[in-house]
Every structure is written in C-alpha cells, then in structure tokens.
Amino acid sequence: MKLLVVEDEPGLRDMMTEVLKQQGWVVETASTYADAEEKIGLYEYDCILLDLMLPDGNGLDLLAELQQKGNPPQVLITSAKAAVEDRVKGLDLGADDYLPKPFDLGELVARVKSQLRRRQGGKRTLQIGNVELFPDERRAKVDGRPLELLHKEYHILHYFMTRPMRVIDKQALAEAVWGDHADQSDNYNYVYQQVANLKKKLKAAKATLQIKSVYGFGYKLECEDAGKPETDTAEKD
C-alpha cells in the first residue's frame, strides 16, 4: 500500500511519515500544492492524506483532479480548517474522510487503515485460491498454514492479489513497493529477484496461485482454482 502525505508543516509531516512507515506502508510526501499535483499526475497512490492550506494553493482543488483518475485513491483530509463548510465541501468533492487538526497519530493510523480496507472492498482478509492475506497484520497463509514472507515479498503479493488476472507493469509494481524513486532506475533486477523469491515460496507452500511472467512487460497473477468461491469475513463500515 502506498500513501502520499501532502503537508507543508515539516515537523508534522515527519511525524506522520514516521508513524505511517511503521505500519509497513510505502510513504511519499509533498510539501506544496505544485509538488502534490506533480506526484498525483505521475504516480499511483492508494491513499492521500491531504492538508488544505498549502503555501501555493488549496488542497480542495486537487480533489477534482484526483476524481478524474481511473482508480482514484482514497482521500483523507487532515486540516486545521475546522469550518463545517470546508468539511462538507471536501466530502462533496470526493474526499472519503476528514480528520481535523490537531489529531492523535494513533487515530490517524486507524483512519488510514479503515480507508485502505475500504479500498479492498471492506474485507479484513483477501483470498484467492488457497492463499489468504491479512493486511492489518501483514501476514499471509496458504491452505491455513502461515507463509513466511519478507517485507517486500509480502507487499508484492498484496499488490498482485489486489489486481488478479491483470497484466502488471513491472515499473508500476516497482513504484508501488519501493516508492516513487523506483522509476529513476532503469534496472529492475531487484524487482525480478524479489518476485523470483516470492514465486519460490508460493510454489514450495503448494499455493494455487502462480505469478506468470509476461515477456517484455511484467507479470500476471493466475489461479488454478479460479472458479472456487471466495470466503471472507466482510466488515461493515
């Protein structure tokens, strides 16, 4: 899961980044409206934490641009602007939640978790074939048995399982798991290596999922027993 923290106050931005990274998420930051606008245009995020009062613009104006994206990220507004009109306007323009400043960092994490859960259909677990993921705890199981994964391997598997049967571009995967700067590297050996390790572990655990290479482009997640009904513990928000 990849987040963008849009916040011009350096101390707060650092604290937010730190606590969100502790959750194992990839966290990028923007300190100005222009910076946020550029990043949103170039990269994909799962959740954006949006301050409204920025030195060079109003965060609300970014919401319209975000809504034009194919798979718009969840947006959590974090703002000192406590006026009811701003809150209503933000939600009207497509924001998903609003957390007024000053806020508790624990509450921030809980709200982000809730947004990320919503992004995966309100489920606490993701299951495809005999592979099950528990995103809140960053754990995976195959046939009910724990699958030991390194941090990046877990994130790669999560990325694939939220995009089953779709061709995954290796650059998009690299940016989602390693962060925006991954695009500055022409060499994807680190991606190939981690995906190869994950494939080995899935195979050894007799997972019915397979990560197939798509020559010259990237990967695709396929499942042997794709027809099997999914089980999940749905959660009401």
> Which residues of the shown chain bind Ca ion in the complex (CB under 5 A)?
8, 51, 53
Smallest separation, CB 5 to Ca ion (Å): 12
Smallest separation, CB 4 to Ca ion (Å): 15
Sheet order of strands, 131-134 included: 126-128, 131-134, 139-142, 145-147
Cβ atoms of 82 and 47 within 8 Å: the answer is no
What's the angle, vertex CA 193, arms to CA 191 and CA 198, rounded to 5?
95
| Among candidate residues 103, 75, 102, 101, the one with its CA nearest the CA of residue 89 | 75
Residue number with CB closer to Ca ion (31 or 120): 31
Cβ atoms of 73 and 66 within 8 Å: the answer is yes
Residue number with CB closer to Ca ion (63 or 174): 63
Residue number with CB closer to Ca ion (53 or 91): 53
Smallest separation, CB 36 to Ca ion (Å): 12
Smallest separation, CB 102 to Ca ion (Å): 12
Residue number with CB closer to Ca ion (54 or 195): 54
Residue number with CB closer to Ca ion (34 or 165): 34
CA distance 30 to 84: 26
Smallest separation, CB 236 to Ca ion (Å): 34
CA distance 225 to 208: 7
Residue number with CB closer to Ca ion (53 or 172): 53
CA distance 142 to 202: 8
CA distance 5 to 18: 11
Q: Side-chain half-sphere of 1: how many Cα atoms within 13 Å?
A: 26
Smallest separation, CB 11 to Ca ion (Å): 12
| Residues forming a β-bridge with 79 | 100
